[in-house]
A and B are shown apart, each in its own frame.
Chain A
Amino acid sequence: MHDANASRASKSFTTLTASAVLVNPVGLHARPSVKLTQCAKSFEATIEIALDADGPWTDAKSPVKVMRVKAPQGAMLYFRVTGLDGEAALAAVLALVHDGFGEA
């Protein structure tokens, strides 16, 4: 048990980044924020968002913090993902944005 944890902790994951334009009508507002955080929370990986490629980065699993970003429609949203299921996580959140959070 200890060994397994130790080996997992010592294994470092590549940080993946990507960006997508917010195409849904009103930006990253209440409903999309809830969807994004729900999706993010279903992954182990650390998922962060930002309005600029250099940050500041915000935890995509916190609806309170995501709402504080106040990302408007048409904004470029940057993602930074680190973790075991990082690739799947990034694909999932990007699909959500491309899809306009299902309300485009």
Chain B
Amino acid sequence: MTEIHLTGRAASPGLAIGPVTVLMGIVESRRVSGDPAQETVALKAAVEGAAADLAKLIKAEQGEAADILEFQVAMLGDDALAEGAFDAIATGIPADQAWRSALNAEIAGYRSAEDEYFRARVADLMDIRDRVLERLNGSENSSAISGGSIVASDEISPSAFLAADWRRGGAIVLAAGSSSSHVAMLARARGTPMVVGVGPLSWDGRPPALALVDGDAGTVIFDPEPETKRQFEQRMKTAHAAHALADADRAKPALTADGRRITVLLNIAAPEELTNLDPAICDGIGLVRTEFLFEASQALPDEETQFAIYRRILDWAQGRPVTIRTLDAGGDKPIAGLTIDGESNPFLGLRGIRLSLLRPEAFRLQLRALARAAVHGPLKVMLPMVTIPSELDRARELLDAEIAALRAKGIACARPLLGIMVEVPAAALRAEDFDAGFYSIGSNDLTQYTMAAARDNGMVADLNDTGNPAVLALITRAVEAGRARGVEVSLCGDAAADIRLTKALLATGLTSLSVSPVAIGRLKATIATVKT
């Protein structure tokens, strides 16, 4: 057996070693649904099958992992969990849809819990939901990704990534894919190494047992020789030591080599990411994506639930500023029932603030919850995809109206600072025309719109480069506009966490960067080496 070396593109940094899990093309098979009696039988079988799968898994696990699985088995074995789904099936709703809604309702209950421990169970409930859905959709062979394994596949869906437990290591190797895909973003946020574009993965029926993944260099070695493995493990040890060192310093403020203070903020995609995180590691939260609100239910959660979530994030930040982005649906983030299907080019279509202004109901609900949360800390509200000043003006009018309505009812509220995400070249070029309370540069979209290179297309990945002088010139424009108007400018895209770009970004005059929790230590350590 000889080792196989493959070279692709680095999509998420870090080193990993582990057993290989080959994912077969996961097809979201649309099952044909039957009458209520058949659907009831199908759901029962799927629930029992999923419980049996879990029972098998428990045998391979110990300690905490086994406890968590045991909890999932207990939940699946309880008729109360599927009760709502069976009721829905009786009214003619297909089994998969009925199960999904029932579990999403359960998940919403956990998500709004006061107690952090109960909120952390959201992931378990999602796991339970997806296991049964997989069974229902007949893909019982698509084995779940076990913790610590190297996933080799043509593609991997965000839900498959999210369903796996990456806390015990592991990595992703894709035949195709792009470093700007949604999964790559998630992998970077979780600290999971990822390499894309390694070319066709053909094993002639004999998949490799072990893999070494270098997410910094973009290389993969399958079935390494003992000596190769030994050297790699040595490198991992050194890297972990360096990482631990950087993390040890991450609670300290970020200073450049010449002593300039840089504001380092946090990006989060779901409130659960703040669990066990010390707010001292950041100067605030630069981006809270709110698309997660839709994960748990088909509709936007009610005002009360949203208010509770926003308030909790502000409480976590302990007086540090928190920037929450209003719903950024559309583009690569379709939401059933809200976004428009069948747009010929969704990235240039009805997304972000465009959708919010056209269909303001969900937007107004969110603004109300945000205005109420603003009482509890320094809250900033960021509007995505703003292109022309009138969009900001119209959004402000809606915010004014909601605040007036809340006050009329005697409900406590405050006016959050309203700013815009600068991700459309038109907004970057004329940033000074916007009466914004702050600017936050969304470098992912700004790059793809400026370079006309899609971020989910590996074939044009070379062009999708935030370090390109054209993109940096637009960033500089926005920074200068912010300075002229006396408002803060920060950057919250992936480029902020790409330490190869730190020097170039600080050279534009930026003094505030926002990154995912795993990147904080690395970014601060890099900032310390930059002279401005």
Contact = CB atoms under 8 A, between A and B. Distances in A.
Interface residues of B, number: 21
A72 B71 contact: no
A64 interface: yes
A75 B157 CA distance: 41
B109 interface: yes
Interface string A33-68: 110011000000000000000000001001111011
A30 interface: yes
B70 A72 contact: no
A63 B75 contact: yes
Interface in A50-104: 59, 62-65, 67-68, 70, 72
A63 B74 CA distance: 7
B117 A64 contact: no
Interface residues of A, number: 18
A29 B122 CA distance: 12
Interface in B66-87: 67-68, 70-71, 74-75, 77-81
B114 A72 contact: yes
B34 to A, nearest CB: 26
Interface string B79-100: 1110000000000000000000
Contact of B71 (A26, A34, A59, A65): A34
Contacts of B109: 68
Contacts, number: 51
A31 interface: yes
A29 B113 CA distance: 12
Which of the listed residues A27, A30, A59, A72 has the most CB atoms from chain B within 10 Å of its own CB?
A: A30
A31 B67 contact: yes
Given A63-B74, A70-B113, A72-B115, A30 B121 contact: yes
Contacts of A26: 115, 117
A37 B74 contact: yes
Given A29-B118, A37-B74, A72-B114, A65 B80 contact: yes
B117 A34 contact: no
Question: SS class of chain A's interface: helix, strand, loop or mixed?
Answer: helix
Contacts of B70: 31, 34
Contact of A29 (B78, B114, B121): B121
Contacts of A68: 109
A62 B67 contact: no
A72 B416 CA distance: 32
Contact of B78 (A27, A31, A64, A72): A64
Interface in A7-41: 26-27, 29-31, 33-34, 37-38
Contacts of A64: 75, 78, 80-81, 106
A67 B74 CA distance: 11
13 contacts: A30-B67, A30-B68, A30-B71, A30-B124, A33-B74, A34-B71, A37-B74, A59-B80, A63-B71, A63-B74, A64-B78, A67-B118, A70-B118
Sorted from nearest, which 4 A-B pairs have the closest CB atoms?
A64-B80, A30-B71, A63-B74, A64-B78
Interface of B: 67-68, 70-71, 74-75, 77-81, 106, 109-110, 113-115, 117-118, 121, 124
